[in-house]
């Protein structure tokens, strides 16, 4: 079931998801359906970023809850224009990106949120996503582009919001068994009575993994408690999440090792692995003070602790290939939004965010062993850093709707950062002084007819340096850095060519100044200078009949360096930004034969990409995959489904370029993805 979006004036009013869909005059495409009121039958509407006048996509609960995935970021593979970076190294399983930003860990351009709460680690990586499992999700929203004023830090190319179920009365469970002795249990419960709603979720997943030395064991637990007053004008809630993950790492392979046995793990990696704990605590308070005035607040605490042991090479020379990396990051923050409906024509909206990070990073290097002996005393302590990062940000915007067909949104956002670091040897340094980072934005949408809307936007976002050392922090002799300013523009059309069909065509470009590829875990920062990303997004979602749905998308994109030089002085102008495929495609269909039987197919493809800055080492990483599913529904309470991933048993792998001379020569390194896999799941609903 779909309901119309609430007016934009309610942007700050609610904190958890129920039902949503694109209304006339918006730029959103919705794939699938969401639970209504979390299963209670209530019809509250959650205002999302869908009224941001850019390319917004929503994936509903029915496309999420029955997916068999090892990691929740894989769910976004169903959505348009999403690049999948499948590193598959224990806890470092992978991530998603879009708008020609890659997922290597160097250029983290995607803001990630869980129930509207910021959920990136310091570097911008998306590790908190793993806390959320499919059965607990209401929907996933992707906002692409540079004109969303709500967020600053890491919101370079857009944002992803993982919205979980809230309210309702239900007991849903899912038990899965599949390839590599994968076993998973998910249990979701909602209890709602009067003004008080409780939601609980428990998940456990274990697997032996596709490769040798590839086992994984993870647990997730969450609770949500919300109280709404009798007039439904005030809402107070608490959300708590816990997550633990222990995993082996099979290690990256050379081309010769890959060709010899893609499922093997070299003896050098026998002690590699990851031990990760994450926590999230958030208080939500929403208040409809008057009919024309609403306030929303979120106070949150995030904790990320990670102990990773990794061996990159069997080279006996030097200690660089054998490392133990430990992160301990604590984030506390506040988001506050105030919305005033000044008249029938103008709505004013403003927001403030504060975030304080108190982080530690330790990196140890070890002598040659086969495998590495991480219990031995390290040969060298490379990092023992304590560092802070403070962000103050805010925005104002006006939503002007002079006619029913026209909507205009001028906006301005500003951010400022402070921080300091304490490093080995008593070195103390302050964060780079970026000053106030101004981000003007402007959006417009015009509905030619109820079926056709044209939208355009222009906006600026920013990138700052991350990590615990120089150049993020200004040590003696270190030059200062300006923030990298991204200027994006987009023109698009949303239209419905026939009843039951939504389609979009969007042309976009994003230019960056002084872009930097920075990998805090290795202390590496590489200046890319000026870059230009541009592309065309094509997508559709069609209900061919009441039983048959089809959806598809095709993104053509490129990311190129405009002006920069490599470390050896070679010009990078005209070179493609590494690890960015030129095309991403998606095609899927569901057919509901009758009440009992449903069949599904999904094909997705991703192009090859250069793995080095000079574009001299060839292209790798492309694939074309086909997944299939069958569901048998015995009753509303009981169903069984079978999913086959990579049906054609295609061999493909993630590839990165090893340019650290750990074996005396630069070369591509490979992490093979699984071949054909199958999973069977039993679903019980009460």
DSSP character for 126?
Answer: -
Percent of the chain predicted with pLDDT > 70? 92
pLDDT of residue 24: 37
For residue 676, CA distances in Å to 108, 358, 497, 575, 626 come to: 30, 43, 37, 35, 10
pLDDT of residue 660: 60
* Domain architecture of the chain: domains with CATH: 169-685 (2.40.170.20)
Beta bridge partners of 390: 356, 418
| CA dihedral of 427, 428, 433, 437, whole degrees rounded to 10 | 100
For residue 321, CA distances in Å to 276, 353, 404, 423, 504 come to: 21, 40, 62, 22, 47
Average pLDDT score over residue span 575-592:
95
pLDDT of residue 523: 67
CA-to-CA distance for 391 and 359, rounded, in angstroms? 14
What confidence tier does 634 reach under pLDDT thresholds 50, 70, 90?
very high
DSSP character for 482?
Answer: P
Count CA atoms closer than 13 A to 521's CA, side-chain side: 19
> Tokens 């940000």 map to which residue?
393
For residue 419, CA distances in Å to 104, 467, 501, 522 come to: 26, 11, 50, 20
pLDDT of residue 18: 32
pLDDT of residue 406: 95
Lookup: tokens for 339: 């919305």
Please report which helix (H) or strand (E) contains residue 294, including its range.
Answer: strand 293-311
* Residues in Cβ contact with 276 at an 8 Å cutoff, skipping those fewer than 6 apart: 91, 127, 243, 244, 245, 246, 304, 305, 306, 307
pLDDT of residue 666: 67
CA-to-CA distance for 23 and 25, rounded, in angstroms? 6
Question: Does pLDDT of 674 surpass 80?
Answer: yes
The predicted-structure confidence for 430-478, as pLDDT tens digits, reads as follows: 999 999 999 999 999 999 999 999 999 999 999 999 999 989 999 887 7
Average pLDDT score over residue span 212-238:
97
DSSP character for 478?
Answer: P
Lookup: tokens for 362: 């330790």
Q: Which residue, among 551, 552, 619, has the nearest Cα to 582 in the 3D structure? A: 619
What confidence tier does 526 reach under pLDDT thresholds 50, 70, 90?
confident
Question: Does pLDDT of 12 surpass 80?
Answer: no
pLDDT of residue 41: 34
Average pLDDT score over residue span 75-98:
94
3-state secondary structure of 76: helix
What confidence tier does 21 reach under pLDDT thresholds 50, 70, 90?
very low
Question: What percent helix, strand, coil does the chain show, rounded to 5?
Answer: 5, 55, 35
CA-to-CA distance for 446 and 407, rounded, in angstroms? 7
Lookup: tokens for 165: 């179920």
Q: What pairing do the DSSP bridges indicate for beta strands 28-31 and 55-60?
A: parallel
pLDDT of residue 315: 83
The predicted-structure confidence for 354-378, as pLDDT tens digits, reads as follows: 999 999 999 999 999 999 999 999 9
Contact present, 469 and 385 (Cβ < 8 Å): yes
CA-to-CA distance for 224 and 644, rounded, in angstroms? 34
């Amino acid at each position: 079931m779909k309901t119309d979006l609430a007016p934009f004036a309610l942007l700050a009013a609610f904190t958890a998801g129920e039902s949503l869909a694109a209304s006339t005059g918006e730029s959103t495409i919705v794939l699938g359906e969401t639970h209504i009121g979390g299963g209670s039958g209530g019809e509250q509407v959650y205002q999302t970023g869908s009224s941001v006048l850019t390319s917004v996509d929503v994936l509903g609960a029915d496309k999420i809850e029955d997916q068999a995935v090892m990691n929740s970021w894989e769910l976004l593979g169903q959505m348009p224009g999403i690049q999948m970076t499948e590193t598959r190294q224990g806890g470092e399983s992978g991530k998603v990106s879009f708008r020609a930003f890659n997922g290597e860990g160097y250029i983290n351009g995607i803001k990630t949120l869980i129930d509207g709460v910021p959920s990136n680690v310091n570097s911008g990586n998306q590790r908190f996503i793993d806390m959320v499992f499919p059965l607990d999700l209401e929907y996933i929203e992707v906002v692409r582009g540079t004109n969303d004023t709500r967020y600053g830090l890491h919101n370079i190319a857009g944002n992803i919001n993982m919205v979980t179920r809230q309210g309702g009365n239900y007991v849903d469970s899912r038990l899965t068994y599949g390839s590599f002795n994968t076993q998973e249990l998910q249990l979701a419960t909602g209890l709602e009575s009067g003004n008080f709603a409780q939601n609980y979720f428990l998940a456990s997943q274990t697997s032996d993994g596709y490769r040798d030395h590839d086992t994984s064991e993870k647990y997730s637990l969450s609770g949500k408690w919300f109280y709404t007053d009798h007039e439904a004008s005030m809402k107070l809630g608490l959300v708590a999440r816990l997550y633990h993950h222990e995993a082996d790492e099979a290690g990256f392979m050379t081309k010769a090792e890959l060709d010899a046995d893609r499922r093997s793990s070299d003896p050098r990696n026998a002690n590699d692995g990851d031990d990760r704990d994450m926590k999230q605590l958030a208080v939500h308070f929403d208040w409809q003070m008057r009919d024309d005035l609403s306030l929303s607040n979120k106070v949150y605490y995030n904790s990320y602790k990670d102990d990773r042991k990794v061996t990159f090479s069997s080279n006996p020379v030097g200690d660089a290939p054998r490392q133990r990396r430990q992160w301990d990051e604590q984030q506390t923050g506040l988001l506050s939004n105030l919305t005033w409906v000044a008249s029938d024509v103008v709505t004013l909206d403003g927001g403030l965010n504060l975030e304080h990070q108190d982080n530690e990073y330790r990196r140890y290097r070890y002598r040659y062993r086969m495998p590495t002996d991480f219990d031995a005393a390290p040969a060298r302590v490379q990092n023992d850093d304590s560092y802070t990062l403070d962000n103050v940000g805010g925005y104002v915007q006006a939503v002007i709707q002079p006619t029913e067909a026209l909507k205009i949104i001028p906006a301005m956002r500003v951010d400022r950062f402070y921080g300091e670091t304490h490093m080995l040897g008593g070195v103390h340094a302050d964060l780079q002084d970026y000053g106030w980072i101004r981000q003007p934005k402007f959006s417009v949408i015009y509905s030619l007819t109820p079926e056709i809307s044209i939208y355009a936007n222009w906006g600026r976002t920013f990138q700052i340096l991350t990590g615990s050392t120089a150049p993020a922090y200004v040590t003696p002799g270190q030059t200062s850095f300006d923030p990298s300013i991204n200027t994006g523009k987009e023109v698009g059309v949303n239209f419905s060519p026939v009843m039951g069909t939504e389609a979009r065509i969007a042309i976009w470009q994003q230019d960056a100044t002084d872009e930097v590829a920075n990998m805090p875990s290795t202390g590496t920062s590489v200046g890319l200078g000026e870059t230009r990303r541009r592309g065309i997004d094509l997508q559709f979602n069609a209900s061919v009949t009441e039983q048959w749905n089809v959806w598809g998308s095709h993104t053509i994109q490129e990311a190129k360096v405009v002006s920069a030089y490599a470390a050896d002085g070679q010009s990078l102008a005209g070179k493609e930004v590494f690890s960015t495929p030129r095309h991403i495609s998606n095609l899927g269909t569901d057919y509901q034969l009758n009440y009992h039987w449903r069949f599904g197919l999904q094909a997705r493809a991703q192009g090859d990409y250069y793995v080095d800055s000079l574009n001299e080492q060839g292209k790798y990483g492309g694939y074309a995959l086909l997944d299939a599913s069958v569901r048998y529904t015995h009753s509303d309470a009981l169903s069984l489904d079978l999913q086959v991933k990579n049906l054609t048993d295609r061999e493909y792998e993630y590839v990165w370029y090893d340019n650290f001379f750990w074996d005396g020569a630069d070369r591509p390194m490979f992490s093979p993805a699984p071949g054909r896999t199958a999973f069977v799941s039993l679903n019980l609903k009460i």
